[in-house]
Amino acid sequence: MTEMPHKSKNLMSRMKLQTKLFAFLLAITFAGVLLKSDWPQLIHQSLCGCFSRDILPFIRRVEPFLSANNNISEEAFVWWTRLQDEKRDFSYYKATINKLFEIFPPNPTFGKPSTGRIRTCAVVGNSVNLKGSGYGRLIDMNDAIIRMNYAEIRGYEADVGTKTTHHVMYPESAVDLDDSTHLVLFPFKIQDIEWLIKARTTGFYSSRSYVQVKPKIRANNDLVMVISPAFMRYVHEVWLRKKKAYPSTGFMVLVAALHVCDQVNVFGFGADSDGNWSHYFGELINKSFKTGVHPGQEEYSVIQLLADKNSIKFYKGRNNKPN
């Protein structure tokens, strides 16, 4: 029998790979359209079985950020309202979103697109394991550097770096930003979106929160983005298999980064030696907090899986232990 030419073998191999990828994409798309109860398990099995850089583009089916062209379904809204017992209806939500895009970009972009080169992103969590890590310079080398909540830099530069391109927050964790940093809101309820609107206009004054929130915030209106409640639901149900109440800010940001970055470098995740999510910039008062309402063990397992499959680079820091 005549041996098949080398080029033909390569062509057939590529065709087989493309067929497998197409089948995988078709299954994901079909599952995403139906959104049935087995959808999370289906995709989680796919992630565990073959998650790699080749597969990664095919799971990016849910847009992380709200835009005028990307709102959410009423079904996703109903799921979102259960997070903090939201009483107002879908019509009120849509009216609030309309006000949002009168002030902020209706089609926000994550940042300047890379021009023929890899866009690297550092997702910088607040774990105490950053302390003494010496990762500062490595973090600053990334194109996008995403921090969250109360992340402090001054006094910790050697370990956490000096630059920030995106800062993720909710009203209770809000901090002032400079004109070059994107404000990324992580909303749990309609009031959080109202806060963003008023904190950048007339001022926000309300007692309906567990802590006093900033009535005004310094930020660049042209660089404001809002994480979609539908994306929150997607992360909770698909990536975390509905464990506990909802994802942590850090894990949400990590999955969002996988959707918009070419290479994701992860810093500052993981529990301390007692299993608590303590921070590098302060002492945890509640020593039995562990991971709170978030599925910390599941999140850490997925992060480790992504690292094992070379889909992210995971810099663990010092004394990093699973949650």
Dump pLDDT digits (tens) for 152-166: 999 999 999 999 999
On whether the CB atoms of residues 274 and 301 are closer than 8 A, the answer is: no
Tokens in use for 73? Answer: 């379904």
Question: Active site residue: 170, 234, 246, 300, which one?
Answer: 246
CB 219 within 8 A of CB 176: yes
What pLDDT does residue 27 have?
41
Are 271 and 164 in the same domain?
yes
Q: Which residue, 47, 63, 79, sits at the end of a domain?
A: 63
Query: Same domain, yes or no, for 49 and 70?
Result: no
CB atoms within 10 A of CB 95: 12
Domain limit, last residue, from 26, 48, 63:
63
Residue that is last in its domain, among 15, 41, 63: 63
Task: State whether 70 and 54 are in the same domain.
Answer: no
Residue 229 lies in a domain: yes
Q: What are phi and psi of 219, to 5 degrees?
A: -165, 170
Question: Looking at the structure, do residues 102 and 159 belong to the same domain, yes or no?
Answer: yes
Q: Establish whether 294 is a catalytic residue.
A: yes
DSSP 232-244: HHHIIIIISTT-S
Check: CB of residue 278 under 8 Å from CB of residue 272.
yes
Q: Is residue 179 part of a domain?
A: yes
Residues 54 and 112 in one domain: no
Report whether 247 contacts 227 (CB < 8 A).
no
* Residue 322 included in any domain: no
Q: In the prediction, which pLDDT does 176 show?
A: 97
Q: Which CATH number covers residue 288?
A: 3.90.1480.20
- Tokens, residue 44: 């989680």
Asked whether residue 171 is domain-assigned, the answer is: yes
Catalytic residue selected from 93, 294, 300, 315: 294
Same domain, 152 and 122: yes
Contact call for residues 215 and 203 (beta carbons, < 8 A):
yes
| The predicted structure's pLDDT at residue 224 | 98
Per-residue pLDDT of 221-274, as tens digits, reads 999 999 999 999 999 988 888 887 788 899 999 999 998 898 999 999 987 666
**pLDDT for the residue 251:** 93
**Same domain, yes or no, for 57 and 202?**
no
pLDDT in tens, the chain (323 residues): 444 454 454 445 444 444 444 444 344 433 343 333 343 444 444 444 444 444 444 455 689 999 998 889 999 999 999 988 899 999 999 999 999 999 999 999 987 765 666 689 999 999 888 999 999 999 999 999 999 999 999 999 999 999 999 999 999 999 999 999 999 999 999 999 999 999 999 999 876 666 789 999 999 999 999 999 999 999 998 888 888 778 889 999 999 999 889 899 999 998 766 667 777 777 655 555 545 555 677 888 889 989 988 889 999 876 555 55
Q: Are residues 69 and 156 in the same domain?
A: yes
The domain containing residue 176 runs over which residues?
A: 65-315
* Residue 10 is assigned to a structural domain of this protein: yes
In a 3-state reduction of DSSP, which class is residue 226?
strand
Quick one: 56 and 179 in the same domain? no
Question: Has 246 been annotated as catalytic?
Answer: yes
- Are 57 and 75 members of one domain? no
Query: 323 lies in a domain?
Result: no
Residues 6+ apart with CB under 8 A from 205: 215
Asked whether residue 320 is assigned to any structural domain, the reply reads no
In the chain, how many domains are there?
A: 2
Query: Is there a domain that residue 140 lies in?
Result: yes
Separation CA 299–CA 205 (nearest Å):
35
Rounded to whole angstroms, how far apart are CA atoms 70 and 10? Answer: 40
Looking at the fold, whether 69 and 18 belong to one and the same domain comes out as: no
Residues 49 and 78 in one domain: no
Q: How many CB atoms lie within 10 A of CB 101?
A: 16
